[in-house]
């Protein structure tokens, strides 16, 4: 891979750029970025990472092996309309990380036979710990999928799914870090309410999250079994969990994921042809 072009230079593009550079997937100069009328942002990314920045779409796209659409969904139509006249060749893979938007919608703006791949990474790409799912459009072959999977594997784990799973993926791992940060926020506030020093609670909480994720990864036990192992009858965990049960926290988490998946689906319907 010699050149990756990002159309949209926001938070998620930066997370991927950081990861790709840290993983030495390609030289920083081979990563090209443009965005929408924000020169200061492009300059900032150039200064921080040594990436190539441009406002010229022809330069951006010329010889790019992979083109990553990384603008907000609301800006997709304008970006796609301008790509329409770009003379892409059928070896260039167009990857979209946009929530909700289907490959069929993207394909409708691109030359016939253009390989299109939908990907849903998350912000942990910044530290090479992203969880990404990738789904093929109709013209993306197995070689294209290998190229895109290997790109996302440089910034964490990547799995290939059918496109119909993407709303669920978006709700679980795309938005997922935000739910966990929400829980961390609540635990931090609760720590101070029970009298723990902020720096001590931060250290303990980070290791508690890391340890729990590794336990799930490395043991054969389910989350429910791991939880049961901590919960002594009449003990502290039982006292805490009974409050979560009374307050319907599990149902609230399930409703949260369903709402995110429904929103992804709705966004897809808003952008359909």
Ligand X SMILES: NC(=O)C1=CN([C@@H]2O[C@H](COP(=O)(O)OP(=O)(O)OC[C@H]3O[C@@H](n4cnc5c(N)ncnc54)[C@H](O)[C@@H]3O)[C@@H](O)[C@H]2O)C=CC1
Ligand Y SMILES: O=C(O)[C@@H]1CCC=N1
Q: By CB under 6 A, tell whether 36 contacts ligand X.
A: yes
Q: Given the complex with ligand X, which of 77 and 143 has the nearer CB atom?
A: 77
Q: Which of 99, 136, 155, 158 binds ligand X (CB under 6 A)?
A: 99
Residue 166 · residue 132 · CB < 8 Å: no
Q: Residues 98-117 vs ligand Y: string with x where CB under 6 A?
A: -x------------------
Q: By CB under 6 A, tell whether 201 contacts ligand Y.
A: no
CA dist., res. 101 & res. 103, Å (int): 7
Q: By CB under 6 A, tell whether 8 contacts ligand Y.
A: no
Q: Which residues, including other chains, have CB under 8 Å from residue 32's CB and lie 6 or more apart?
A: 3, 4, 5, 6, 51, 52, 53, 54, 59, 60, 64
For 46-155, where are the E strands, in sequence order? 52-53, 66-69, 93-96, 116-120, 130-136
Q: Which of 30, 115, 121, 156 binds ligand X (CB under 6 A)?
A: 121
Residue 132 · residue 159 · CB < 8 Å: yes
Residue 98 · residue 123 · CB < 8 Å: no
Residue 20 · residue 41 · CB < 8 Å: no
CA dist., res. 96 & res. 70, Å (int): 7
Report CA 87 to chain centroid distance, whole Å. 28
- Taking CB within 5 to 8 Å according to partner kind, which of ligand Y, ligand X, none is near residue 201? none
Q: By CB under 6 A, tell whether 156 contacts ligand Y.
A: no
Report CA 149 to chain centroid distance, whole Å. 13
Q: Residues 60-99 vs ligand Y: string with x where CB under 6 A?
A: ---------------------------------------x
CB of 99 to ligand Y, least distance (A): 4
Q: By CB under 6 A, tell whether 117 contacts ligand X.
A: no
Residues of span 122-151 touching ligand X by CB under 6 A: 122-123
Binding site for ligand Y (CB under 6 A): 99, 170, 174-175
Interface contacts to ligand X, rule CB under 6 A: 7-13, 34-36, 38, 41, 70-73, 75, 78-79, 97-99, 120-123, 174
């Amino acid at each position: 891979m010699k050149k990756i072009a990002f159309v949209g230079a926001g938070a998620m593009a930066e997370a991927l750029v950081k990861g790709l550079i840290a993983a030495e997937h390609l030289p920083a100069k081979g990563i090209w970025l443009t965005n929408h009328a924000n020169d200061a942002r492009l300059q900032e990314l150039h200064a921080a990472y040594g990436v190539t920045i441009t406002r010229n779409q022809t330069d951006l796209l010329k010889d790019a092996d992979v083109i990553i659409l990384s603008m907000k969904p609301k800006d997709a139509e304008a970006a796609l309309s301008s790509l329409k006249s770009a003379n892409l060749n059928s070896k260039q893979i167009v990857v979209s990380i946009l929530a909700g938007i289907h490959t069929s919608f993207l394909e409708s703006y691109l030359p016939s036979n253009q390989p299109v791949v939908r990907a849903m990474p998350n912000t942990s790409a910044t530290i090479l710990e992203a969880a990404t799912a990738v789904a093929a459009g109709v013209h993306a072959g197995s070689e294209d999928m290998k190229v895109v999977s290997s790109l996302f594997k440089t910034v964490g784990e990547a799995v290939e799914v059918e496109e119909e799973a993407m709303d669920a993926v978006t709700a679980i791992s795309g938005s997922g870090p935000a739910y966990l940060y929400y829980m961390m926020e609540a635990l931090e506030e609760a720590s101070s309410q029970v009298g723990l020093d902020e720096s001590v609670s931060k250290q303990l909480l980070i290791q508690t999250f890391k340890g729990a994720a590794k336990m799930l990864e490395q043991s054969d036990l389910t989350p429910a079994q791991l939880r049961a192992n901590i919960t002594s009858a009449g003990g502290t965990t039982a006292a805490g969990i009974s409050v979560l049960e009374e307050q319907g926290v599990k149902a609230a988490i399930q409703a949260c994921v369903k709402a995110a998946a429904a929103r992804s689906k709705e966004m897809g319907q808003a952008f359909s042809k």
